[in-house]
Structure 1
Amino acid sequence: MANLSAVLFGIAIWLALFLGSPCAHGAVAKQSGRGTDARQTKGTPTIAATPERVEVTAASGSTEIGWNTGNGSTGFVFVTANGREPVLVAKGPEGSRVISWIRTGSYIFELYGDAERRALLATVTVSGVAEPGSPPRTGLLHRQLRWLLVAVLFAVLYFAVYLSSTGPQRTEFPAEPTTSPQPLHVARNLLLGLAAFICVDGVVFHTRLYTSILAPDSYAGRMAVITRAEKHRASSGLKEVLVLGDSRMAEGFSAAVANELSSVAGLKFVNVAEPACAVNIWHYVLREVDPTGRRYWAIVVPYGIGFEPNSADPLRISMAAPLLRYGDCFNFASAFQRWSGRFRAFTACILRGSAFQSDLVDFLEHPSARARSVQLEAKTLHSRDVYKGRDSDIVGTSYDPKTGQVTLPPRLTEAQREAVRDSLVKPSQSETQDFLRMQRDGIQKILKRYSASPTAIVLTPVPRGPFAGLPGASMTFHAAFPTVPTQKAVLSLPEQTFDFLEKPEYYFDGLHLNAKGRQGFTETLVAQLVGHLQSADSDGQLHSDSKTVAGRFSSGIHGSGNRSSRDNHISNKLMNEAN
């Protein structure tokens, strides 16, 4: 009897969590095979809504969002509902989604070229207008289903409490009111139900049972696909170099070009950089693809790649979810600044299914479409391998850091203009400090993991932007890697290595390199690594002392005329704190 009541409590907890999720109320965009004008437009980024004016009745209305980046690159569709926080609803070079949860108000759908919402490509506004009429059948069914689940929840709770008594089971109600001499074990059965719920979540979501069928075009799905493919990739027999990073490294580094250039030197590059993959996720990526900590000859770790807004917390948690374990709950949660982010991160480690709610609802609504998309996993990986970057640039754009004046050429589209302006927004002091701490802690975790490994850690800067000093992207060496004594051999490239790329001709927006910049960045990075092969010992380990490296770049920072005084102030402050 106790086991039955425990199971009932587990069901009650699951229903409560499911009902509390907005995903259960239809807050997930549905896939659709119908095309739109946006999907048929080539060359120019477009996004369209059909219709843009939605008649909302008692439940909700629907509109179809179609988008196309115009050049085959990955696009990110965000929606801002009635002034609330932007939420990602779709991802891909082109496609369409049926949004079935439009209510009275304004919904701004924006197509971005990156997950950090820096490069705005196109936008469309959908207006929900209240109109008299009968509610749609779909909305009515959703409302009926919701109330049915509420009724089931109360019924389950009632019978769980009723069956918690340790006395004999009653087969009929007594004629006179009676009281049981046995105490009700409500707390015990509640704990048993919670334990059963955690076990079910572990079996389903902490194994490959569900992660193998995640939507390949979602953040969690792409991370699962990339890490799974790399983990099971056979060794090439060469000196393999793994490249980490977010969208700036994903757009800026080409593994195909690097392998062609370094074939004579016996190197093979593997790029697992992915948009929205922040520095606090890299440690878990390495743990997944390199369990022994000795698989790679070197690991390239970028630093100074800009700040991460707190609004991106749900996105980062979702992306990291396929890699998280129970023991990560405290360490992973501590990387977030807001308590809401910490709670979500902690919950995602214990109940991983909480991070997959949207994906699960989409799977239940479109199982056939999900099955077809999962079968295209090899195509997804191939598209990453053959991607050559974007051809557009922002030549003619200039920025004066003293006055904050930006000059934009007439040929730029409105989306390009807004993307450049957004990239010049200066983060607050607290946001800057939070990001520096997250980047410093993330890099230190990687160094600690490989402290006893022959794998060399290569710290590399990235181009700061097309104007050689973007407010939110200029981070110095010491800010990310202060002079903390360590026995780990670290190769750090000079901060001025990629200064020649900090020109508008090498960028397609305010943060990301275009195809020309991608080629230059890859060639320079490979040349630097190949040049240090002469210092490699017989077992393939690079010689470099972290203290010497830090001291050498300390003089390099202060000797660089185009480094801002604000960066030096931050760097010196962090160095003093470290010492």
Structure 2
Amino acid sequence: MAPWIGRGRYVFELWREPARRELLAAVEVSGIAPPAAASDVTFSQRAARWFLIVALAVVLYVALYLSSPGPVRTKFPAEPVTSPRPLHVARNFLLGALGFVVLDGVIFHTGLYRAILAPDSYAGRVSLFTRIERERPPSGLKEVLILGDSRMAEGFSARVADQLGGAAGFKFVNLADPASTANIWHYMLREVDPAARRYWAIVIPYGGGYEPDWAESLRISMAAPLLRYRDCFEFAGGFRRWPDRFKAFTACILRGTAYQNDVADLLQHPFERIRRVREVPKLLEAHANYQGRDDNAGTSDDARPRQSGLAPTQGGDKGRGLVRMTQPEVEYFLKLQKDWIGRILERYSGSSTAIVLTPVPRSPSGGMLGVAASYQSELPNFTPGKTAFLVPPRTFDFLEKPEYYFDNYHLNAKGRQLFTERLVAELLGWMRSADARDYSDADSKPLMGKSP
């Protein structure tokens, strides 16, 4: 049993040489969680679910009891008593359900529970970093926000970008978060930029990614800190399967359902949670000082196969495997990007903020298993101009080599440096060309009151 393999489908590849020109064999296997870990997770989920059910039952009972006709009894009568007034069971049930929704709102829709979310969990990271960015004072520079999943989080260095773009007045903020997708980026932007005019530019990756069906519950949990009651239909409509739609809809109304694993962990390890919350400053410092990983995904000269491992949505830091996407997963992922990037473009259509769509290096072998190379055709209607820029699709093909990766998805420190340098160069070049066009257009216009 390999402890670094989790749930999912994995592809092991054996190549004749490190350059990966001749594939000798490829084997696809399925991974499952270890029995002990699976039982622990199942127990935690059941405990949280029963906790919520018991809480709902208590609220309903209290509501029915207090709303019954007559004075509140402090002791049982000696003989049965029949009330001449009806109990209004349906009304009392609805009042109890409403009370439960209100209780959930007070605990989970305010900052009450958010303050004790596990900061190293997916939901905790989204909540923490969006709050930090929302509260960050303006720098007075041309701020560029970077969005994306773990490939942008590992591949782009805001510190290096600030050094390269500082002379031109740029400041870069990397809000990319592992396992996040375009729908989560949409809600993150609403949280950190409510007026849609805070940033000079927003960089959004497009193209190959990873969106397996079994990760939908993770996406719901990640988005939960950002959701509002009015998002229930919009957010739920972005999921492919009806059970996931129901979970997403419920998470908008009863946010505690999306936090059930976190609640279970809190109940099991309360003192450990307190310690982790107190160490948030250390987490932020480590995040700010992160410079990438020096690991290399290349094979040695004896042509040993690479190790496989967890998909990026499962933590990526342990894995080195390629996960094959099924055709329905590919189609859903491309549709998800098209729809939600389109929403972002629509939100900033009347803003001076520029939207930059960029590809990212796909893998050491130059492609994502199952993802079509024609993903650019799946982009929403996008007209490049002064506030819109599309980085050419093959800009980063030179990075699709094993020496620039620490696994089959993520750039290592060397690749991170080169990717950041090239992306900043593309942005600066586009800015200069846009300024030159504006200057040329202004210079060619006749002065007011003058004949041409």
Tell me, what secondary structure is at the counterpart of 1:410? Answer: coil
Q: Within the alignment, does 1:443 sit opposite 2:337 as a pair? A: no
Q: Equivalents in 2 of 1:469, 1:155: separation in Å?
A: 54
Instruction: Give 2:211's aligned residue.
Output: 308
2:388 maps to 1:494: no
Write out per-residue CA displacement over residues 161-183 of structure 1, whole angstroms, 9 at most, x where no aligned residue. 566543566776475x6654322
Aligned-partner Cα distance in 1 for 2:295–2:309: 13
For residue 16 of structure 2, what is the aligned residue in structure 1?
none
Aligned to 1:423: 322
SS where residue 457 of structure 1 aligns? strand
Greater strand proportion: 1
> Secondary structure in 2 aligned to 1:263?
helix
Cα pair distance change 1:168/1:408, threshold 3 Å? farther
Task: Report the equivalent of 1:36.
Answer: none
Which residue of structure 2 aligns with residue 105 of structure 1? none
Give me the TM-score of the superposition, normalised by structure 1. Answer: 0.62
Q: Deviations over 1:111-139 (max 9, x none)?
A: xxxxxxxxx9x9995569xxxxxxxxxx9
Q: 1:314 to 1:158 in 2, by over 3 A?
A: closer
**Which residue in the other structure is 2:199 paired with?**
296
Letter of the aligned partner of 2:408 in structure 1? G
Q: 1:377 aligns with which of 257, 280, 290?
A: 280
* Alpha-carbon separation, structure 1, partners of 2:351 and 2:148: 21
How far the C-alpha of 1:409 sits from its partner, in A, is 2.6
Q: 1:460 aligns with which of 340, 358, 374?
A: 358
**Alpha-carbon distance in structure 2 between the residues aligned to 1:156 and 1:343:** 23
- 1:323–1:124 distance in 2 versus 1, CA, 3 Å: closer
Alignment equivalent of 1:410, drawn from 283, 301, 304: 304
Structure 1 residues 472 and 267: CA distance shift in structure 2, 3 A: farther
Question: Residue 387 of structure 1 is aligned with which of 290, 295, 302?
Answer: 290
Q: TM-score, normalised by structure 2?
A: 0.78
Q: RMSD of the alignment, in Å?
A: 3.6
Distance 1:167 1:372, change over 3 A: closer
Shift of 1:298: 0.1
Alpha-carbon spacing, 1:240–1:480, altered in 2? closer, same or farther (3 Å): farther
| Counterpart check, 1:520 vs 2:418 | yes
1:290 aligned partner, one-letter code? D
Q: Within 2, Cα distance between the matches of 1:184 and 1:478? A: 62
Partners of 1:208 and 1:392 lie apart in 2 by 39
Which one-letter code corresponds to 1:392 in the other structure? D
Alpha carbons 2:405, 2:412 under 8 Å: kept: yes
> 1:253 aligned to 2:156?
yes
Deviation at 1:242, TM superposition (A): 0.2
Amino acid at match of 2:267: L
Q: Name the structure 1 match of 2:404.
A: 506
The code of the aligned residue for 1:275 comes to: P
1:205: Cα distance to partner?
1.1
Alignment-mate amino acid for residue 409 of structure 1: A
- Would the aligned equivalents of 1:164 and 1:186 in 2 still touch at CA under 8 Å? no
Matched with 2:123 is 220
Counterparts of 2:134 and 2:58, CA distance in 1:
46
| CA–CA separation in structure 1 for the residues paired with 2:244 and 2:96 | 26
In the TM superposition, residue 485 of structure 1 has moved relative to its aligned partner by 7.0
Q: Any residues of structure 2 matched to 1:314-353 within 5 Å, and which? A: 314-353=217-256
Structure 1 position 489, deviation (Å): 3.3
Structure 1 453/370 Cα, relative in aligned 2: closer, same or farther at 3 Å? same
Shift of 1:506: 1.1
Q: Give 3-state SS (helix, strand or coil) of 2:304's partner.
A: coil
How many residue pairs get aligned? The number is 400
Q: In the alignment, does 2:255 pair up with 1:361? A: no
Equivalent pair of 1:464/1:511 in contact (CA under 8 Å): yes
Q: Does structure 2 conserve the Cα–Cα contact (< 8 Å) formed by 1:424 and 1:510? A: no
Deviation track 1:314-345 (CA, whole Å, cap 9, x = no partner) reads 11111111111111111111111111111111
Matched, 1:207 2:101: no
CA distance in 2, matches of 1:189, 1:363: 32
* Amino-acid identity (%): 54
